[in-house]
Amino acid sequence: MNGHHHHHHDDEGRLRLALLLTGSFMVAELAGGLVSGSLALVADAGHMLTDSASLFLAWVAARLARRPADDLRSYGWQRFQIVAALINAVSLLFLVAWIGYEAIERLFRPQPVLGGVMMVIAVLGLGVNLLVFRLLHGGSGDNLNVRAALLHVLGDLLGSVAAIVAAVVILYTGWTPIDPILSLLVVLLILNSTWRILRRSVHILMEGAPADIDLDALRKALVAEIDGVRDVHHVHLWSLTPEQPLITLHLRLAPGVAGQPVLERAKRILRERFGIGHSTIQVEWADCVDDRDEGA
């Protein structure tokens, strides 16, 4: 237990340092992009904003997850990361739209770009991203928050490389359209990850069922593998967070079948076969009381 606690604090520290590095350089890169006139740098700063937001969510989630549940929040603060992810994704859509509009306008009306300044900032950005990547890669592999943040940083490495390529082309050929063209590529990177975050967070907040759990297979397994179970009904499956599926269901048993062994077996199947650690099961021997109430 102490080892797990130590890893948890170690990951929290790594996330905090990674957030400080990424957030600080994002501001510097944005300033460099505005000074040099490089939209690729501004777009990459936007991508670093997605990294910073992801790192911030992971760090806050790691801290808040340690808070105990109370009478007002029976699940604690774990849903916070989903609400924050939704707000983050919506704001990023506006950022993507602005960068995309600017890039298309610059393709038709090219503007001067200071290739030297752009190159210096882009190379420094690549260095920061490599440092953050190494920092997070040293964290515990089973922390899904750290792994998600790591994927964001990997995407941003591509953005830094794109800005370096644009700077090299501008320095050696003077062809400035490469800057908005590569900006559009970075925008597509941001849009892809943003859309996935948006879709997943809305699905969870709408109490949608986890995509990796087959509800039909779950029902069949409970009926086929537990003696005395006649049917499974009133099944509700949703997620607290992407890693924490929850389920409630009713089991109708044959007359005379003992409820406790059935309950224990059902919970074991749900936990071991379907990865559902939190389940609430109502056991019945006659017609469902809820069905009778609804029909009244």
pLDDT digits 0-9 by tens, 16-30:
888 888 888 888 888
pLDDT digits 0-9 by tens, 208-229:
999 889 999 999 999 999 999 9
Q: Which of 25, 180, 23, 34 has the alpha carbon at shortest distance from 118?
A: 34
End-to-end CA distance of the chain: 51
What token pair was written down for 27? 């501001």
pTM score of the predicted model: 0.74
Q: Is residue 127 within 8 Å of 156, Cβ to Cβ?
A: no
Domain 215-295 CATH assignment equals 1.20.120.530: no
Q: Is residue 44 within 8 Å of 190, Cβ to Cβ?
A: no
The whole-number pLDDT of residue 226 equals: 93
| Three-state secondary-structure class, residue 221 | helix
Instruction: Specify the fold of 2-205.
Output: Alpha-lytic protease prodomain-like (1.20.1510)
The whole-number pLDDT of residue 109 equals: 81
What token pair was written down for 128? 């920061």
CB neighbour list of residue 260: distance below 8 Å, 6 or more residues apart? none
Distance (Å, whole) CA 111 – CA 37: 8
Q: Is residue 44 within 8 Å of 159, Cβ to Cβ?
A: yes
The whole-number pLDDT of residue 107 equals: 85
Blockwise average pLDDT, block size 10, the chain, 296 residues: 50 83 85 80 76 81 80 84 78 81 84 79 86 77 61 74 86 86 81 81 91 93 94 94 90 93 95 94 89 57
CB neighbour list of residue 109: distance below 8 Å, 6 or more residues apart? none
| Annotated domain spans of the chain | 2-205, 215-295
The whole-number pLDDT of residue 3 equals: 46
The whole-number pLDDT of residue 139 equals: 60
The whole-number pLDDT of residue 233 equals: 94
Distance (Å, whole) CA 123 – CA 202: 37
